[in-house]
Amino acid sequence: MEASSRSSLFCLVLITILSSWRCVCSSSYLIGMGSHDITGPAADVNMMGYANAEQTAAGIHFRLKARAFIVAEPDGGNRVAFVNLDACMASQIVTIKVLERLKSRYGDLYTEKNLAISGIHTHAGPGGYLQYVVYIVTSLGFVRQSFDVIVDGIEKAIVQAHENLRSGKIYVNNGELLNAGVNRSPSAYLNNPASERSQYKYNVDKTMTMLKFMDDEWGPIGSFNWFATHGTSMSRTNSLISGDNKGAAARFMEDWAEQNGYPKQDTGLLADLFGSIIKRYPRRVSNIVPQPNNNFDELIQLASSIEATGGRRLASTSQRIRRSDMPKFVSAFCQSNCGDVSPNVLGTFCIDTGLPCDFNHSTCNGKNELCYGRGPGYPDEFESTRIIADRQFEKAVELFNSASEEIQGKIDSRHIYVDFSKLEVTITAGNGKQEVVKTCPAAMGFAFAAGTTDGPGAFDFTQGDDTGNPFWRMVRNVLKKPGKEQVSCQSPKPILLDTGEMDTPYAWAPAVLPLQILRIGQLVILSVPGEFTTMAGRRLRDAVKAVLIKEGNGQFNNNVHIVIAGLTNTYSQYVTTFEEYAIQRYEGASTLYGPHTLSAYIQEFRKLASALVQGQAVSSLVSPPDLLDKQISLLTPVLVDTTPLGVHFGDVSTDVPDNSTFNKGQIVNATFWSACPRNDLLTNGTFALVEMLDSSTNEWVPLYDDDDWSLRFKWFRPSKLSSRSHATLEWQIPENTPTGVYRLRHFGASKRLFGGVSHFTGTSRAFAVL
C-alpha cells in the first residue's frame, strides 16, 4: 500500500473513531460534585431536633458538610442541582437566600425549579436557622451564625460543583438494608388497611437507592443515596455537634473512596501542585505516614523529653489537614420517608424497670419520659451511631461496586408553591364517590409534646392522646384558642398549639410549601418539605409512578426509580396517612394541616408529574414569606474571654501524664485553657489536632483533626456565666495507628472586652503510641 493510501486510511479510521466517541458522549451528562463545611457554633446554641432547651452545643464530634451534585445536559440543556445538608432539615429562609446568591452569580441557571436543598435530619446540629417561630423557640430565637454558615456552605458547594462540571455518566442501583431502622409507631402503622399492609414485607422501607457518578476521565467521583432512618442515634442529652449516623456514613464512604484512589489522578502531579503528599491522611486508616519507629524504648524516652509548648497567639486561623482545593470524592447519605423510622433497632424499654414499653402509647406505668429506644451499641450512643453508619456505608459500597444500570434520558424539573392551609382536595369516599375536603391551618396536637421513643417529652403528655386535658387546654388558650372551624378541621387531633393562626411577633408555622420533582433520566426525585411516614411515602411514590407510566407515552416503565427526598427546601413537620392520623401518636399529632394532608400532597404531586411528562409549564399563585428582617434573637453574645493571671489561652490545664505510653484502642486526653468557639467557627479549619513526630525531619505532622471520628473536641465553662472556659481533646487511638510519638494540639479564638478576636494555639506533652 502506498504511503498516501495508508495516510488516507488512517485519517478515515481516526474520523470514524472520533465520530463514534462523540456519539457515545452525546448520551452522557455533564456532572459536577462539591462540598463545604457548614459546622455551626460549637457552644451555647441549642441543638435542632429534640426541642430540648437544655441540649446546647459544647464541642464537636465531627464536622458538618453541605454536599452537592449538578447534572446537566450537554450543549446548554436542562440541569438539576441537589444539595444534601448535615443539618436537621432544610429552611425556607436559607433556600430563599441561597437562590438570591446564585441568581447574582449565574442568572437563571439555578432557580427554585431545579435546585433542591435537603437535610439528613441529624438532631445534633446547631439550631436557630429557620424562620418560623415554633422552630426557634428553644434556640432563643434566630441564630445568625447558624444561618450564615449554612447559606455560605451551600453556595460554595454548588459553586464548586458548577466549576467541576465535566462529561461523565451516572449509574443507579438499589438493594435492601435490613438492620438500620425499625418502626417506632407500629400501632399507628397497623391502623392502615390490612390489604395494603399485606403488599409489603416490612413495616418500614428497607430499600436504599444509590447514584454512582463517573467522570469520563477520572472515574468514580461521587455517590448519593437515599434511605429512610432517623438521625437520632445520638441522644437528646448529647452536646457534641455531629452528623449522626448519616453524616458518619458519608465520611466513611469518602474515606473508603480516598483509600481506593477515587477520583483517579496523578499522585505525583498533585504532590507537586499542593505540597508533600505525606500530609494527606484518610480519616479511618492512616496509610501514608512517617516511617514508624518500632524501637519502643527509644520512643518512650523521646516522648518523655517533649513537654507542652504553652499557649501562644497565631497570626492566622488553623487549616484543615485535607486540602479542600483538591479534586475529591463526594458521598452523601440522603434522607427519605423516615417519619416513623428509628435507628434504635433493639426496641423500646423502660429505663426504670428494663421492661418493654407499652405498645400503644410508648409509656412506662403511664409515663412517656421513661420510655427510650435502644440503639445497637446500647448504652453507648457513639457506638450506636457508628454501627448504624457502618451498616449504611457497607450497603452503599456494595451497591456502588455492583451498579450497572446506566441513567439515560432527559433532565427536567417542576416546582410549585402551594398554600396548604386552605387547599381543596378531591378524595374518594368510602362509598366510592368523589368528595371535596380541605386542609387546615397548621396545628400541633397534644401528643406532639409527648415526643417519641427516640427522645421523649416531659410532663404528662402521652402518644396516642386524642382527647387532651383541661389544664393544658387552659395553658394553650393563653396563647391562642382555636376556633370551632379549626377544631373540626383538625379532628380527631386535639389541638395543643394552633400555630397556623399565630402570628405574633411573626408567623409561627409555614402555610405555603414548595413541592418539586427532579428528573434525571429514569430516576425521579420527589422533594417533600417534611417527614413522611413509611406508608405515606409508599402511597406518594405509587401515585406518581402511575402518572408517569400512564401519561408518559413510553418515557417511563416499571423500571422507573422514584425516591422521596425528605425535609427538602423547607420544613413543615410530619405527614401520616389518614388512618395513622386517627391514632394520634407523635407523627399524627405533628401532621400540621389536618387528616387530609397526605391526600393533598398526592393530588398536587400528580399534577406536577403530569406536567413533567407532558412538557407543560407550571406556575405558582403564592409564594412563601421572607421573614429575615423580622427575626428576633435572645442569645447572649460573647462579651469577653479570660484566663487566670499568668495563664495564656492555649496553656494546658490538665496534661497527658508524664512518661505516658498508650496502646491502640485506648483514650488519651488533655485539657486546655480555651475561649468560646462562637468567636470563630474555624470554618474549613479545626479546633483540635493529633500530631505525630517525624523523627527523620524532627517535624510534627498532623494526622487527625476535629472532622475525624476518633478525635473529639469538648468545650465547657466552670459555671454558666463564667468568662473562663476549657477545651478537652479526647483521642481514641485507632487500631491501625502507627507506632510513634504524638501530641494533641488545640486551636481557638479569644474575645477581648474592648477589641477584636485573637487566635491562639497550644499543645500537650508528647506521648508514645506502641
Q: Which residues are annotated as a binding site for Zn(2+)?
A: 121, 230, 531, 574
* Cell, residue 195: 390489604
Looking at 342, 384, 413, 610, which residue is catalytic? 342
C-alpha cell at 106: 449565574
Q: Is 342 a catalytic residue?
A: yes
For residues 160 and 34, the answer to whether their CB atoms sit within 8 Å is yes
Give the C-alpha distances (Å, rounded to integers) separating 341 from 140, 173, 179, 336, 600.
29, 22, 12, 10, 23
User: Do residues 591 and 597 lie in contact, with contact meaning Cβ atoms separated by under 8 Å?
Assistant: yes
**Can you spell out the DSSP letters for 387-437?**
HHHHHHHHHHHHHHHH--EE--S-EEEEEEEEETTS-EEEEE-TTS-EEEE
Contact present, 616 and 547 (Cβ < 8 Å)? no
Could you tell me where the DSSP H helices lie in 179-330? 186-189, 194-197, 244-259, 267-274, 296-304
**Position 457, amino acid:** G
End-to-end CA distance of the chain: 71
Question: Cα separation of 492 and 478, whole Å?
Answer: 22
Report the C-alpha gap between 94 and 45 in whole angstroms: 18
**Whole-angstrom distance, CA of residue 492 vs CA of residue 467:** 8
Confirm if 556 and 356 have CB atoms less than 8 A apart.
no
Burial class (CB in 10 A: 0-12, 13-18, 19+), 199: exposed
**Residue spans of beta strands (DSSP E) within 461-542:** 495-497, 512-520, 523-527, 531-532
Strand 115-119 to strand 79-85: parallel, antiparallel, or no bridges (unpaired)?
parallel
**DSSP-derived 3-state class of residue 234:** coil
Nearest to 663 by CA among 770, 556, 763: 770
Instruction: Report d(CA 582, CA 588) in Å as an integer.
Output: 7
Helix axes 381-402, 244-259, angle to 10 degrees: 50
**Which one-letter DSSP state was computed for residue 60?**
E
CA distance 491 to 144: 38
Active-site amino acid positions: 342
